[in-house]
Amino acid sequence: MLLDTLRRLSLRLTGVIAIAGAGLFPSFPLAAESAKTDWRTSLELLEYDWSHLAGAEVTAAGVRIEGLGRAIIPPADAADEPVTPNPPINLRGPILQVKGEFYLGAHLRFEGAPGGYVTFYGDLPLVQDEWRQDGKSVTLGVTDQQLIVEIQNGIGDYRRQEYPFSPAEEATLELARVAGGFVIMADGEVVGDIDDPGIFSSGEVVFGAHADVGRAFVLTRLIAAPMMPGSRVSVIDPELPSVEPDPVGLRRLAESHAPHLAIGTAVSAIPLLSDASYARILAQNFNMLTPENAMKFQAIHPQPDRYAFADADAIVEFAERNNMAVHGHTLVWGEALPRWVTETAFTDAQVQRLLADHIATVVGRYKGRIASWDVINEPLQPFAPELRTGSPWYRAMGEDYIAFALREAHRADPVARLYINEFACEERNAKSDGLYRLAKRLLERGVPLHGIGFQMHEDMTEEYQPVNAEAFRDNVQRFIDLGLEVRISEMDVNLHEEDSPERQVAQAEYYRSLLELAVDQPAFSAFSTWGFTDRYSSLQDWWEPKGFGNGLLFDPQMRPKPAYDALRQALVRHR
């Protein structure tokens, strides 16, 4: 019975027969009818939103998928490590809710050599700064005369099966979860079975599709169906939420008591679009967003002639829907550069043109929608006053790359405020002296530089105390005296292993002292943290799913910490 059902579903997918005629699945509803279905109903998932998947184009024939090769590049201190693939996910498309035994089938029509992948996510991955924490998923793919099946069961648990398979112009790839395992089919024939370690224990399936670079295919059908009585499939069609700000939350208090100061945070696209609590707390408490990764070069410009705007678009649209400003991050950096930028033998003139085109395209897309930009990120050596010299930008233009990029950004959006963003410059030291001299030189040349972002990634332990507010005030005043705006751009306070209640109170007092400084000084344009919850934080351990950090305002359960209350008090007390 099971095999017969699978084959009939496969035939339905490729259009050879009508399941209604077979009597197994008498209804095939449109998307609007799919919220409640009986067990014999199949769903056509391409009837939902696929227009926000990076690398995808919705056409009359289906969804065309083009290879982007999007990947996370290792940081400079691990440059020899391989890249981490980061394929697109349809975060704003259909979310399939499943119960019991179910079937998923995809029909691919290739353009040129066969090649393409469809991924079914049970738990989404997390992407934080320069690492990716894997979730749970099954990927079915075709490449090089093989059917590829990949099982990702969280961090470090990866399996890959390869089966001989030689389609010509099209292929049908199918997955059935039955009897504690997965049955894999290709073009209507069973090719294998694999144990299910609980990939879809969340009860949901989110979809992704990608191709290898240089290849493309059209996804012409994508069907889901229950397999047995008692099984269910249904679809959630998500929308970007609109959330009323908390009247006693951070954003409303700041707007009332410190209107010169934006209260901001860094935002990651995956939790924004998949975790309702994250989106709700975000909109309730903050009036400025900084895309944490979605606008970095590796994410938004993965190939010379291809951009991937979907995640950045979602963040900007969420901000607009909730009356929040956006601070763009980042246009020019020596890290997070795709290998095509760093490993191609460009001439200096080509590098300059490449950078100009990148800035014009990205800033131009969001002209009038993004209030300010980190145009230059971390131009100085980690703990020295000299400029970094290893980036393709410096090698092609020397120090002039900084002025060049600022002028190009200003040309693309004359209204946006333009910043240099740097770390380890919070107090007077050799590095902050170097940053001051750089800013002064730029201003003397008439370069459109409007402000400096001080990142404020701080540590607080028994052995180490962060830069105090008075030292920061003394240092930052000289930048203000140049006529520059200043902003706290990426604040977190890492307690490391010392996360005691007493240490959390000290952390809270430190947050409060920095916000009070920013509230009292009109030249501060923003007080922004690098994330707001320890549940999604760049301080967490990438190799441990529950290795959460402790440096932000809300704990991993999204409960406010003493630091949050301290910030509220700092705003309320300011009159």
Domains along the chain?
Answer: 2-236 (2.60.120.200), 261-572 (3.20.20.80)
pLDDT value at residue 95: 98
Mean pLDDT of 524-532: 98
pLDDT value at residue 82: 92
What is the secondary structure of 276-337 as a DSSP string?
A: HHHHHHHHHH-SEEEESSTTSHHHH--BTTB---HHHHHHHHHHHHTT-EEEEEEEE-SSS-
pLDDT value at residue 16: 33
Confidence of residue 78 (pLDDT cuts 50, 70, 90): confident
pLDDT value at residue 575: 58
Query: Does 26 score more than 70 pLDDT?
Result: no
Distance from the Cα of residue 279 to its chain's centroid = 14
pLDDT value at residue 3: 57
Q: Range with the lowest mean pLDDT among 201-210, 330-339, 450-459, 537-546? A: 537-546
Mean pLDDT of 332-344: 97
Mean pLDDT of the chain: 92
pLDDT value at residue 6: 58
pLDDT value at residue 252: 98
Tokens read off for 275: 């975790």
| Exposure on the CB side of residue 474, measured as CA atoms within 13 A | 9
pLDDT, greater one: 84 or 7 = 84
pLDDT tens-digit series, residues 141-157: 999 899 999 999 999 99
Tokens read off for 525: 């344009």
Tokens read off for 572: 């309320």
Tokens read off for 99: 């119960």
pLDDT value at residue 77: 79
Confidence of residue 28 (pLDDT cuts 50, 70, 90): very low
Q: In what order do the strands lie in the sheet with 232-236?
A: 158-164, 146-153, 136-143, 115-123, 204-210, 95-99, 232-236
Residue 327: name the closest of 524, 476, 514, 526 by CA.
526
pLDDT value at residue 129: 76
**Which residues participate in catalysis according to the annotation?**
378, 490
Mean pLDDT of 527-548: 93
Burial of 411-448, coded b for 16+ CB within 10 Å and e otherwise, reads ebbeebbbbbbbbbbbbbbebbebbbebbeebeeeebb
The 3 state secondary structure assigned to 245-288 is CCCCCHHHHHHHHCCCCEEEEEECHHHHHHCHHHHHHHHHHCCE
pLDDT tens-digit series, residues 53-68: 999 999 999 999 999 9
pLDDT tens-digit series, residues 118-130: 999 999 999 987 7
Cβ contacts of 147 within 8 Å, gap of 6 or more: 140, 141, 162, 163, 164, 165, 173, 184, 186, 191
> For 124-231, where are the E strands, in sequence order?
126-128, 131-133, 136-143, 146-153, 158-164, 170-178, 181-186, 189-195, 204-210, 216-226
- Kindly report the backbone phi and psi dihedral angles of residue 354, in degrees, each rounded to the nearest multiple of 5, phi listed first: -60, -45
Q: How far is CA 259 from CA 254, 325, 472, in A?
A: 6, 13, 22
Mean pLDDT of 427-449: 98
Map tokens 């935002």 to a residue. Answer: 267
Confidence of residue 27 (pLDDT cuts 50, 70, 90): very low
Query: Does 137 score more than 60 pLDDT?
Result: yes
Identity of the residue numbered 207: F
- Kindly report the backbone phi and psi dihedral angles of residue 181, in degrees, each rounded to the nearest multiple of 5, phi listed first: -150, 180
pLDDT value at residue 142: 97
Query: Does 532 score more than 90 pLDDT?
Result: yes
Distance from the Cα of residue 433 to its chain's centroid = 34
